[in-house]
Amino acid sequence: MRILVTGGAGFLGSHLCERLLNEGHDVICLDNFFTGSKNNIIHLMDSHRFELVRHDITEPILLEVDRIYNLACPASPVHYQYNPVKTTKTSVMGTINMLGMAKRVKARILQASTSEVYGDPQVHPQTEAYWGNVNPIGIRSCYDEGKRVAETLMMDYHRQNNVDIRIIRIFNTYGPRMAENDGRVVSNFILQALRNEEITVYGDGSQTRSFCYADDLVDGMIRMMECDGFIGPVNLGNPVENTILEFAEKIITITGSSSCIIHKPLPQDDPKQRQPDISLAREKLGWSPAISLETGLAKTAAYFAAQLAKG
Query: Is there a catalytic annotation at residue 303?
Result: no
- The angle subtended at Cα 89 by Cα 111 and Cα 12, nearest 5°, is 40
Per-residue x/- mask for ligand NAD, residues 172 to 211, rule CB under 6 A? xx-----x--------------------------------
Our finding on whether 33 is near ligand NAD (CB under 6 A) is: yes
Q: Is residue 296 involved in binding ligand NAD (CB under 6 A)?
A: no
Q: Which of 118, 143, 174, 213 is catalytic?
A: 143
Supply the DSSP symbol for 42.
G
Interface with ligand NAD includes 304 (CB under 6 A)? no
Q: What angle in degrees, to the nearest 10, is found between the helix axes of 141-161 and 84-105?
A: 20
Q: Which is nearer to ligand UDP, 130 or 202 (CB)?
A: 202
Residue type, 184: R
Q: Is 270 in the site for ligand UDP (CB under 6 A)?
A: yes
- Under DSSP, the state recorded for 122 is S
Among 17, 179, 201, 252, binds ligand UDP (CB under 6 A): 201
Interstrand relation of 26-31 and 108-114 (parallel, antiparallel or unpaired): unpaired
Q: Segment contacting ligand NAD (CB under 6 A): 6-14, 258-266, 271-279, 293-301?
A: 6-14
Q: Residues near 89 by Cβ (< 8 Å), separated by ≥ 6?
A: 58
Task: Report the chain's terminal Cα–Cα distance, integer Å.
Answer: 39
Residue type for 67, please?
Answer: R
Q: Is residue 278 packed enough to be buried (19+ CB in 10 Å), middle (13-18) or exposed (0-12)?
A: buried
Of 128-136, 144-152, 181-189, 289-297, the segment contacting ligand UDP by CB under 6 A is: 181-189
- Supply the minimum distance, in Å, between the C-beta of residue 218 and ligand UDP: 19
Report the interface residues with ligand NAD, using CB under 6 A: 6-7, 9-13, 31-36, 56-58, 71-75, 90, 94, 112, 114, 170, 172-173, 179
Q: Which residues have a catalytic role annotated?
A: 143
